[in-house]
């Protein structure tokens, strides 16, 4: 079996890459170790930058997103008993975010690929990458896939990055001393926009997925266990951290999903080796505070699509050779923003009273300075795609 691009992973990065390549007349095969049901139900990110929304719409896979997604033109920072809105419509005119779950993006992309006759294979076993420096191929389940290029879009725990020989990659990593307990609840949102709350008890985030489904996060110890967080304790802690301004009451409901997410920053560079190109979580992880993970994957795929289109059009390798360099500029900007948001809003056990007063001082600056608020807003809605290249 042969194709032009072998894509490992049927998450947003791999599926979008396959679709964008299809629009350019470039063939691909997508290999995914999980089932279709699993990837379509996997709850992950839900905040889409303006550039991600535009990319999906322009690619013809954004119809349902535009109908059902929730555009937001601001976020709220809540601390010290007061609420402070960061107004995107004034600070970054014409740019916003859209709340639309990653699993919905995946459903839309799978439907589009299958409708176009795309080759997407689920529950593929024993995937291995070979001959990355010469004529690459992939083996899986007793079969062989020959290809000109391999795109590793299989996440942090996938097989693509480990296929690169030792000593090639430089790894940069930061572990945070806490985690996020996230829940999905069958309850209408208590706010029209996302609330980022900083309290002495820890951070909390009120988000949403639809007019009837809400998403919440709590800062918890890094070694927290779900068994220690029954429904009653979760709602009590959310109320304690969110009901800190006059007149706000948190609506509660049935919790349908829950999980604990470690907080870390991770970058492996370069994002390429031979004819293997990494995209998305296979190359980088950001703490979710800045809502950048899915959006970085889309940015990577846009860069890789242009590079592959040039390569298959006339054999030019200029863009492919510069793929990692182009992506990493945006990756490191997102790393910094995610770190900044995380340190701005979370409590750290090692912080003394001096450090906590500095944190509150900076929050006061962000919410009172037009320049500081604009920096937050333009990074949150996403810098234009050409700004990081």
Q: Which of 73, 206, 292, 346 is catalytic?
A: 292
276 φ/ψ sector (left φ>0, alpha ψ -120 to 50, else beta): beta
Please confirm, yes or no, whether 288 is among the known catalytic residues. Answer: yes
Please confirm, yes or no, whether 72 is among the known catalytic residues. Answer: yes
With contact defined as beta carbons under 8 Å apart, do 277 and 232 qualify? no
Q: Which of 176, 196, 273, 277 is catalytic?
A: 196
Identify the structural domains of the chain with CATH numbers, from first to last: 2-72+96-173+264-347 (3.50.50.60)
Query: For residue 170, with 0-12 CB atoms within 10 Å meaning exposed, 13-18 middle and 19 or more buried, which class applies?
Result: exposed
Residue 42 has a pLDDT of 82
With contact defined as beta carbons under 8 Å apart, do 138 and 275 qualify? no
Token pair for 316: 């030019």
Tens digits of residue pLDDT in 75-89? 999 999 999 999 999
Q: Pairing state of beta strands 254-269 and 170-186? A: antiparallel
Residue 46 has a pLDDT of 86
Q: Which of 19, 72, 284, 346 is catalytic?
A: 72
Residue 388 has a pLDDT of 43
CA–CA dist 363, 315 (Å, integer):
51
**Nearest alpha carbon to residue 343 among 360, 367, 365, 364:** 360
Residue 56 has a pLDDT of 98
Q: Cα-flanking dihedrals φ and ψ of residue 313, to 5°?
A: -80, -45
State which residues of the chain have pLDDT below 50: 387-389
Please confirm, yes or no, whether 292 is among the known catalytic residues. Answer: yes
Residue 39 has a pLDDT of 92
Residue 385 has a pLDDT of 81
Q: Which of 277, 288, 311, 346 is catalytic?
A: 288
């Amino acid at each position: 079996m042969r194709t032009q691009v072998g894509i490992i992973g049927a998450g947003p990065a791999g599926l979008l890459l396959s679709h964008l390549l299809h629009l350019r007349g470039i063939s691909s095969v997508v290999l995914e170790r999980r089932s279709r049901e699993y990837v379509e139900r996997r709850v992950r990110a839900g905040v889409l930058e303006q550039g991600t929304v535009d990319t999906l719409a322009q690619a013809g896979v954004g119809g349902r997103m535009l109908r059902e997604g929730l555009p937001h033109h601001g976020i709220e920072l809540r601390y010290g008993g007061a609420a402070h809105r960061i107004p995107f419509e004034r600070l970054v005119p014409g740019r916003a975010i859209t709340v639309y779950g990653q699993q919905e993006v995946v459903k839309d992309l799978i439907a589009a690929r299958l409708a176009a006759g795309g080759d997407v294979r689920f529950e593929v076993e024993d995937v291995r990458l070979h001959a990355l420096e010469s004529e690459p191929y992939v083996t899986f389940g007793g079969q062989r896939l020959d290809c000109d290029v391999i795109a590793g879009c299989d996440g942090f725990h996938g097989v693509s990055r480990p296929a690169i020989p030792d000593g090639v990659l430089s790894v940069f990593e930061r572990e945070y001393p806490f985690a996020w307990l996230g829940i999905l609840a069958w309850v209408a949102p208590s706010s029209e926009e996302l609330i980022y709350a900083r309290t002495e008890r820890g951070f909390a985030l009120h988000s949403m997925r639809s007019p009837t489904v809400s998403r919440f996060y709590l800062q918890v110890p890094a070694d927290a266990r779900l068994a220690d967080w029954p429904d009653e304790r979760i709602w009590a802690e959310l109320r304690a951290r969110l009901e800190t301004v006059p007149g706000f009451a948190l609506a509660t409901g049935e919790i349908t999903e829950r999980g604990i997410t470690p907080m870390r920053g991770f970058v492996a560079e370069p994002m390429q080796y031979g004819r293997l190109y990494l995209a998305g979580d296979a190359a980088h992880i950001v703490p979710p505070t800045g809502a950048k993970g899915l959006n970085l994957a889309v940015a990577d795929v846009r860069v890789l699509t242009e590079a592959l289109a040039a390569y298959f059009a006339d054999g030019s390798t200029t863009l492919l050779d510069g793929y990692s360099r182009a992506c990493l500029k945006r990756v490191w900007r997102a790393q910094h923003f995610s770190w900044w948001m995380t340190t701005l809003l979370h409590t750290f056990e090692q912080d003394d009273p001096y450090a906590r007063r500095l944190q509150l001082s900076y929050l006061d600056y962000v919410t009172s300075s037009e320049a500081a608020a604009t920096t937050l807003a333009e990074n949150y809605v996403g810098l234009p795609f050409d700004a990081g290249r």
